[in-house]
Amino acid sequence: MSDETVAAPAGETDTHLRAVIDEYMGSFEPAAEDSAGLRERILQIVREDAVLAPSTRLLSERGNPFQITTATVRGIVRHAVDAVDGIRARSVSVSPAGDPEGSAADVALTVTMRAGVEFVPTAEEVRRIIARDLSAELGIPANRIDITADDVFLDDDGDGGDGGGDGEGVDKEAADD
């Protein structure tokens, strides 16, 4: 995902936002007293968010374009990675992919792993959770998920268990032995 803010004419953005809200409202029927002003409040929140942070344009399942802040998508990926025991997200990059562009996402991330954790099965679990969370939270499938182990950490007690040490001074090759 690019850190550059995606700029679109205000009218075009409002039209797309209204289409996304209509898509949502088609599957959700709030009580009449709860829906008064809902659309305008949602549009106001989205506009304020889009102005404050870099965003990326994606497409809903129905092909409606929408923008989401880069930090939000990175947060979804980080949360998915950090949910797996023995691995922590370091850097995360998500970019629009698919045909048409934005209908899927390519993910590249670097991670740090606890000494003694097997990379291949852990990476597969991370890929599964990232794909599940992107689909559940954004309605966007993961096209590609590249994971690079960048560092190894030891637990506080130094046994490679579940204590979460800082990993400073750990040699990656020595940790693999």
- Domains of the chain are 10-68 (no CATH), 72-176 (3.30.70.1350)
Residues 162, 148: Cα–Cα separation, whole Å: 21
pLDDT in tens, the chain (177 residues): 444 444 455 566 677 777 777 776 666 666 666 666 776 777 777 666 656 667 777 888 888 888 888 888 999 999 999 999 999 999 999 999 998 988 999 999 999 999 999 999 999 999 999 999 999 999 899 999 999 999 999 976 544 444 444 444 444 343 343
Q: Of 163, 148, 83, 81, give the one whose Cα is nearest residue 116.
A: 163
pLDDT of residue 21: 73
Beta strands 104-114; 142-153: pairing state: parallel
Per-residue confidence (pLDDT) for residue 133, from 0 to 100: 96
Phi and psi for 154 in degrees, rounded to 5? -105, 155
54: cis peptide before it, omega within 30°? no
Cα first-last separation, the chain: 36
Q: What is the pLDDT of residue 71?
A: 86
Structure tokens at 149: 């182990």
Residues, the chain:
177
pLDDT for 175 equals: 39
pLDDT of residue 128: 97
